[in-house]
Amino acid sequence: MNRMQKIAWFNLIVTLLALGLSVVAFSIGYFVFGAPARQAAAGFGFIGIMGFCGLSPVLFRKDKSKVQYDERDTAIQRKAVGFAYAIFWVLFVAAAMIPWFIIGPNGTITTNYLPWMVFGGMFVVMLLQSIVTLNEYGWRGDGDK
């Protein structure tokens, strides 16, 4: 398994962990303690765990081999980033347009919606980028054998 695969695995696990903990925390607040949805939404603070993804290049040091990164790695990286941002863009447009269609041009929405678009976007990009990267390299380290 090369460094890019390790980073992708780490980012995927951290991203899913952040989502999982957020959903669990929200569910406990909302269903177990009967808190209003707005208060229970504080559980989504666990999304902040995604910040650990920024540590992945430090945690996984460069391989000792002569060549670290080649044209195939570049192609995979481009494909993963391109795919992730293409989907992000579609969702971003949907997130911006759907409320406008539903509540109309004179409606109002809470500004809390804006950071949620940012965090949601980060989540989607990180998740899809990791999945496409692992899909291209292979989910296991078979290629190393």
Could you say whether residue 68 binds another protein (CB under 8 A)?
Answer: yes
Which parts of the chain are beta strand (E)?
A: none
The CA–CA distances, whole Å, from 90 to 23, 37, 97, 125 equal 24, 27, 11, 12
CB of 1 to another protein, least distance (A): 9
Of 38, 61, 64, 66, the one binding another protein (CB under 8 A) is 66
Question: CA–CA separation, 88 vs 26, rounded Å?
Answer: 24
CB of 63 to another protein, least distance (A): 8
Could you say whether residue 72 binds another protein (CB under 8 A)?
Answer: yes
Could you say whether residue 2 binds another protein (CB under 8 A)?
Answer: yes
SS3 130: helix
Neighbours of 125 (CB within 10 A): 19
Q: Smaller CB distance to another protein: residue 72 or 78?
A: 72
Could you say whether residue 70 binds another protein (CB under 8 A)?
Answer: yes
Binding site for another protein (CB under 8 A): 2, 65-73, 137, 143-144
